[in-house]
Chains A and B, each alone.
Chain A
Amino acid sequence: MDKSTHLTHYLILVLGLSICFFLFLFFRNDPAHQLWAAFAGCVFYSAWGIIHGLLEQRLNRHIAFEYITLALFVFALLYASLSLR
């Protein structure tokens, strides 16, 4: 994968996460919607990692599991944080 494609992929990643983060801030007084924004961010990240791996032709079960587990971990952190508020 050339550098410009790689850069584009990362820009998409940052843009997608920024949108979810913005929604998270926007719904600051509504934890249910905040949780949905967090969930969307985690799903987006897992999907980004898997699609990026596919396009790079280096995706395997372990790599897909790695993105999913990290997304799960982040969701657990945000769920715990929001629930304690």
Chain B
Amino acid sequence: MPVKKLKHRVLPHPQKKQRATLLQSKAVFLYSLGVLLVFSFFRQVPTVLPGILGYASNITVSDLLKYTNQRRDSAGVGGLTINPKLSEAAQKKATHMFAKNYWAHVSPDGTDPWSFILGVNYDYLYAGENLAKNFNDSKDVVEAWYKSPSHRDNLISDKYTDVGFAVVNGVLDGYETTLVVQMFGKPRTAPAQVAVKGTDNNSAVRSAQSEEPVLKQTAPATSQPAPKSEVTLLKPESAIVGHNQPVYSPNPKLDVFATTKMLILGFSVGMLGLFALDIWYSKKHAILKLTGHTFAHMVFLTFAIFAVYFALQPGRLI
């Protein structure tokens, strides 16, 4: 291929008054199709070749407990201990979310978090739930909870003595997802007067002397006669994860998330570079192109790069 032709792939054409071939509308249109094609590929391959292309994750219950208690220590409240009943309730909640295809504290059919806790015969005085999904690392999950005021209220509340976790992988809304459920509780062992004051988003209080839970909720202000908790989702797949056991396709050769991020950001930044080259070369050779404004394209692309970077930050809370 002649050097001149190659040159105009990346540099504007002075005679034709056109952009570089790689920046022309036809090429950009093909890039759009390419992005969608690669995206579809990345969506399908993990299910066919999970060992090669998958979602890396290193979330363990022991780490979640460790980082939770570290945060509680620094807040001056006592550490929590794992309660198998709460872990079972968390597992049931996660399984329920995958089965009913929702991600919320209260299911579409009205099942609230307290139903799961009471369902495993954990008679609580206080209860709470945090949910997270699609995080890569245990520490990131706990830090995200800590940074969210409503989740932090549960995380460092001195009302709780017990905690249970579930880290479960599965398909939610058609996407592979890892859910993390953290359930807090304090058993109703000793008779006590419970003051019903303040309302957390995802926590519930029951009277020490009554069977009826006294509900305090913040988020959906429904008056449910059941305990509330904070729910946090973490990851996909339908298997609960035990202590120290990483969840979700561990150690894939290529992590879908990291690879996509690298490809999308690399490509966008490369395109931004070509636009910058277009401005420089056009000025240098006084080329007046009959095109849109290159600087405007660069402004738009810069916003897009920041948005993509932000969108590809792992993890979400509810």
Question: Which residues of A does B touch, CB under 8 Å?
Answer: 10, 13-14, 17-18, 20-21, 24-25, 28-29, 34, 38, 41, 45, 48-49, 52-53, 58, 60, 62-63, 65-67, 69-85
Q: Which of A24, A48, A84 is most buried by chain B, counting CB atoms within 10 A of its CB?
A: A84
- A31: shortest Cβ distance to chain B, in Å? 8
The bracket for how many chain B residues form the interface is 35 or more
Interface residues of B in 6-50 (CB under 8 A from A): 25, 28-29, 31-33, 35-36, 38-39, 42-43
Closest to B38 in A: A80
Interface residues of B in 150-203 (CB under 8 A from A): 175
Could you tell me the distance between the alpha carbons of A21 and B301 in the complex, rounded to whole angstroms? 12
Could you tell me the distance between the alpha carbons of A25 and B301 in the complex, rounded to whole angstroms? 17
| Of A63, A74, A75, A80, the contact of B260 (CB 8 Å cutoff) | A80
B299 touches A14 (CB 8 A): yes
**Residue interface mask B256-299, A partner, CB < 8 A = 1:** 11001000100010000000000000000000001111011101
Could you tell me the distance between the alpha carbons of A48 and B299 in the complex, rounded to whole angstroms? 12
- Contacts A17-B299, A78-B308, A78-B311 given: A66-B25 contact, CB under 8 Å? yes
Q: Determine whether B317 belongs to the interface, using a CB cutoff of 8 Å to chain A.
A: yes
Q: Determine whether B207 belongs to the interface, using a CB cutoff of 8 Å to chain A.
A: no
Could you tell me the distance between the alpha carbons of A52 and B308 in the complex, rounded to whole angstroms? 26
Could you tell me the distance between the alpha carbons of A29 and B306 in the complex, rounded to whole angstroms? 17
What is the interface of chain B mostly: helix, strand, loop, or mixed? helix
A and B contact pairs by CB, cutoff 8 A, 7 listed: A34-B311, A49-B293, A49-B296, A69-B29, A72-B29, A76-B33, A81-B264
What is the interface of chain A mostly: helix, strand, loop, or mixed? helix
Residues of B within 8 A of A78 (CB): 304, 307-308, 311
Could you tell me the distance between the alpha carbons of A71 and B306 in the complex, rounded to whole angstroms? 15
Could you tell me the distance between the alpha carbons of A55 and B310 in the complex, rounded to whole angstroms? 34
B260 touches A69 (CB 8 A): no
| Of B35, B290, B304, B314, the contact of A60 (CB 8 Å cutoff) | B290
| Of A20, A25, A41, A81, the contact of B312 (CB 8 Å cutoff) | A81
Residues of B within 8 A of A71 (CB): 300
Q: Determine whether B318 belongs to the interface, using a CB cutoff of 8 Å to chain A.
A: yes
Interface residues of B in 114-170 (CB under 8 A from A): 134
B35 touches A77 (CB 8 A): yes
A84 touches B260 (CB 8 A): yes
B300 touches A70 (CB 8 A): yes
Residues of A within 8 A of B300 (CB): 13, 17, 45, 70-71, 74
B296 touches A84 (CB 8 A): no
B264 touches A85 (CB 8 A): no
Could you tell me the distance between the alpha carbons of A64 and B17 in the complex, rounded to whole angstroms? 16
